[in-house]
Structure 1
Amino acid sequence: MTVLYFRLARGYRPADLGRWLLTATAAAVVAALLLRALGRALNDPAAGAVPRLLWCLPPLAAVGWFAAVAARAVPAARPERINGLTAAGAGPVRLRLLVAGEIALACALGSALALLLFLVLRNDIAGPALAADLGMGSPLPAAAPVTLLVLVPLVAGVSAACAVPSADPLPTGLERTAPTGFGPLRIALPTGLLVTGLALELYGLRPGGSVDGRPVVLPGGLGDTGVPVLVGWTFAALGLALLTAPLLALTGRLLALGRPAPLRLLAGRSLTAEARRLGTPLAVLALAGAAVLAAFRYWIGRPGSSEALTNVEGVLVVACALAAVVVRAAEVRSARRDVSSALLRLGAAPGLLFGAAVLRVLAAGTVLLLTGGATAVLAAGALG
């Protein structure tokens, strides 16, 4: 199996190598955060290790999300690899396991590098500033770092294996033709969540509402907030995230409304068709970016309240979400390769295809600013 992965790596293109290195780097950062939590627990066992490990869950989930998106895009970007493995006798299950193993191997190497650096720094190299983070002066149980670091490739591998629906005959990266519209339930549910969240947050922010009940202390030096405000922001953010794909489809339909020119017609129809695949990564990016921006706004207003660990985790989460959007956009472009080639053969100008792509990006960016901006404003209100 290892020899097969090395042979696959020989045919890597720059995009494949960049995706692999990005996955390994993100895994190394998460592994470093887990090892830091272990070092803190060794240095101060009475403080409790569970809260520190729970604080590592958001970046771990971000790496798992990026691993799933990256694994979903591998077959679309390299169809000749899938065709070759299929001709060699690999079935759908084995193909999925091969793609998941490739992602897990990258995460395992990143985790191994983080562990190596952790052990080197513990060998009387780190200064007093890092002594508490590395657990200097305390014996290191051999099973503890290995158990923690297994989590990263395990989460990434499982996420990658589950990324392709099992109903597909082969993980080609091309989804079956799906309706471009959204049913009433698909729109009513997020709308209800948004309205309920707004009502709860406004109720919690009313004059005198801050003294009701016990305030919830937020991690990362973000102060405290009320339960209705926190629950309301969660509902509203989830509703806005679920509305991203329908808003993309609606924007595409508006572009093609009336008697559109070929540019608007091509951009609108394409955006409507791609709304389902682009909606989820854009929603995750908007949610992550809005939360990080609101947190930075809070810290700027209160100097000295931020923590370096929280900043690193926030940057990692946003970077993984942004990388997932780029990978999904590349997947969509690969899926549209045949359509673009057919349009060029029919006489369409290359400038028309480029202009339609630019118009789609602007329209999707507008939706992203709308949902992300609204989420950030609600988060800023919740943080005070």
Structure 2
Amino acid sequence: MFYLRLARGYRVLDLGRWLLTALAGAVVAAFLLRALGRAMSDPAGGTAALARLLWCLPPLAAVAWFAAVAARAVPARRPERITGLTAAGAGAARIRALIAGEVALACTLGSALTLLLFLVLRNDIAGPSLAPELGMGVALPAAAPVTLIALVPFTAGLAAAGAVPLAETLPGRRRPARTGFGVLRIALPVGLAVSGLALELIALRTGAAVDGRPINLPAGLGTTSWAALGGWAACALGLAMLTGPLLSWAGRLLALGRPTPLRLLAGRGLTAQARRLGPPLAVLALALALVLTTIRYWIGEPGSADALPAVEAGLVLGCTAAAVVSRLAELRTDRQDVAEALLRLGAAPRLLVGAVALRVLAVGTVLLVTGGLTAVLAAAGLH
């Protein structure tokens, strides 16, 4: 009953977040049920069933990531909701559980619709082309689809519950936001990026000896060596972890010297938002780099494309983009008081618009460097 009353007060962004969560949960449930259907259709003892289940992990992780970012944004976007719950006697842990329950409920409804469609298609409705995907002609164990379907809301709800800090769920108890990065927070990703880059360059140098154990990559991406793959993974992780510090340094660079009001406002704002804006943008840049590298390889090697990785890549990109939009909406709400104060002091509206545009340009430059280098190194390691 609480969630039904909550839905009556949904705004456009709340409804969009809820529908996106349900849709993402439905798609992941479809992947899991397809893996189940193919496992029932394949001969006993086939090893492909485990590989299909492993292919379901990236979209499941993407849904959990989106659920975590969206749940963290709820207290900032809807403070009146948190205030009302607090007035009704709900504590921090209770509010945290309610936010996670909302996310899990959306995933449950989406997964239930997918399960219903799966059962309907198994009732001699699907054609011969879909029969192996649904496991038609084989008795369906009742516990298997229920267990797989329950995995989606459980993972999303757990991620949402862990993403909302208890100190930030109650009005007036938000912890002060940190804007700087410690030495270890910068030294670790720099070390990873440099060592990974050096390892991949050594593996790709002219005349380098083949390690004798090439890796056959999934999704029809050919082969690579262990050294190239390990070097790329370390460098990609280091560049992703460096996204936040690079955004902060870009903000400080904008405000360097004797800045104009436009540069000062844009630089200080970007520096303040770097810690919270860095992680979702890093994930988005990494996902885009992998997708663009895959598309480039498929175009260069006709016939190597695979439909399932393409659909999963679309879901991962959609979830990461939605997470970025949710984080941007959260940051916009946090800075709304600052913007209103500047307007009351006589600042021109075009000054605020120009500051936003300048921040977008700086963020785009940082992502072009990190994502572009990640994509180039990934493409160089494919054979």
* Greater mean alpha carbon deviation, residues 355-364 or residues 83-92: 355-364
What do residues 327-353 of structure 1 show as CA deviations (whole Å, max 9, x unaligned)? 000000011111111111111122111
In structure 1, C-alpha distance between the alignment counterparts of 2:74 and 2:176, rounded to whole Å: 20
Structure 2 matches for 1:102-251, cutoff 5 A?
A: 102-166=102-166, 168=167, 170=169, 176-209=175-208, 211-251=210-250
Shift of 1:171: 5.0
In structure 2, C-alpha distance between the alignment counterparts of 1:109 and 1:236, rounded to whole Å: 39
* Greater mean alpha carbon deviation, residues 81-90 or residues 118-127: 118-127
| Structure 2 CA distance for partners of 1:210 and 1:314, relative to 1, 3 Å | farther
Are the equivalent residues in 2 in contact too, given 1:198–1:232 (CA < 8 A)? yes
In structure 1, C-alpha distance between the alignment counterparts of 2:239 and 2:209, rounded to whole Å: 25
Q: Which residue of 2 aligns with 1:294?
A: 293
What do residues 301-359 of structure 1 show as CA deviations (whole Å, max 9, x unaligned)? 11111111010011111111111001000000011111111111111122111111111
Structure 2 matches for 1:1-384, cutoff 5 A?
A: 3-44=1-42, 45-48=44-47, 49-166=49-166, 168=167, 170=169, 176-209=175-208, 211-384=210-383
Q: What is the TM-score with the length of structure 1 in the denominator?
A: 0.96
Are the equivalent residues in 1 in contact too, given 2:83–2:170 (CA < 8 A)? no
Shift of 1:206: 2.3
Shift of 1:47: 2.2
| Structure 2 CA distance for partners of 1:226 and 1:175, relative to 1, 3 Å | farther
In structure 2, C-alpha distance between the alignment counterparts of 1:159 and 1:31, rounded to whole Å: 17
| Structure 2 CA distance for partners of 1:172 and 1:162, relative to 1, 3 Å | farther
In structure 1, C-alpha distance between the alignment counterparts of 2:34 and 2:285, rounded to whole Å: 29
What do residues 2-49 of structure 1 show as CA deviations (whole Å, max 9, x unaligned)? x00000000000110001000110111100000000011000043232
What do residues 38-91 of structure 1 show as CA deviations (whole Å, max 9, x unaligned)? 011000043232111111100000000000000001111111111001100010
Are the equivalent residues in 1 in contact too, given 2:178–2:275 (CA < 8 A)? no
Are the equivalent residues in 2 in contact too, given 1:225–1:382 (CA < 8 A)? yes
In percent, how many aligned pairs have the same letter?
Answer: 70
* RMSD over equivalenced CA pairs, Å: 1.4
| SS of residue matched to 1:47 | coil
Shift of 1:173: 11
Shift of 1:207: 3.2
| SS of residue matched to 1:347 | coil
Are the equivalent residues in 2 in contact too, given 1:31–1:115 (CA < 8 A)? yes
In structure 1, C-alpha distance between the alignment counterparts of 2:351 and 2:206, rounded to whole Å: 55
In structure 2, C-alpha distance between the alignment counterparts of 1:155 and 1:378, rounded to whole Å: 32
Are the equivalent residues in 2 in contact too, given 1:174–1:335 (CA < 8 A)? no
Shift of 1:165: 2.2
In structure 2, C-alpha distance between the alignment counterparts of 1:134 and 1:351, rounded to whole Å: 56
* Greater mean alpha carbon deviation, residues 187-196 or residues 174-183: 174-183
| SS of residue matched to 2:130 | helix
Q: Which runs of 4+ in 1 moved over 4 A?
A: 171-175
The one-letter code of the counterpart of 1:127 is G
The one-letter code of the counterpart of 1:41 is A
What do residues 216-262 of structure 1 show as CA deviations (whole Å, max 9, x unaligned)? 11111111110001100000000000000000000001111111111
| Structure 2 CA distance for partners of 1:315 and 1:174, relative to 1, 3 Å | farther
Are the equivalent residues in 2 in contact too, given 1:201–1:233 (CA < 8 A)? yes
| Structure 2 CA distance for partners of 1:169 and 1:380, relative to 1, 3 Å | closer
The one-letter code of the counterpart of 2:15 is L
Shift of 1:176: 2.7
The one-letter code of the counterpart of 2:19 is L
Are the equivalent residues in 1 in contact too, given 2:215–2:223 (CA < 8 A)? yes
The one-letter code of the counterpart of 1:221 is G
In structure 1, C-alpha distance between the alignment counterparts of 2:279 and 2:273, rounded to whole Å: 11
| SS of residue matched to 2:129 | helix
* Greater mean alpha carbon deviation, residues 208-217 or residues 275-284: 208-217
| SS of residue matched to 1:300 | helix
In structure 1, C-alpha distance between the alignment counterparts of 2:321 and 2:7, rounded to whole Å: 24
How many positions carry a matched residue from both structures? 381
Shift of 1:175: 5.3
Shift of 1:213: 2.9
The one-letter code of the counterpart of 2:32 is L
| SS of residue matched to 1:323 | helix
Q: What is the TM-score with the length of structure 2 in the denominator?
A: 0.97
What do residues 250-293 of structure 1 show as CA deviations (whole Å, max 9, x unaligned)? 00011111111111100100000000000000000011110111
* Greater mean alpha carbon deviation, residues 322-331 or residues 41-50: 41-50
Are the equivalent residues in 1 in contact too, given 2:339–2:352 (CA < 8 A)? yes
Shift of 1:161: 0.2
Structure 2 unaligned spans of 5+: none
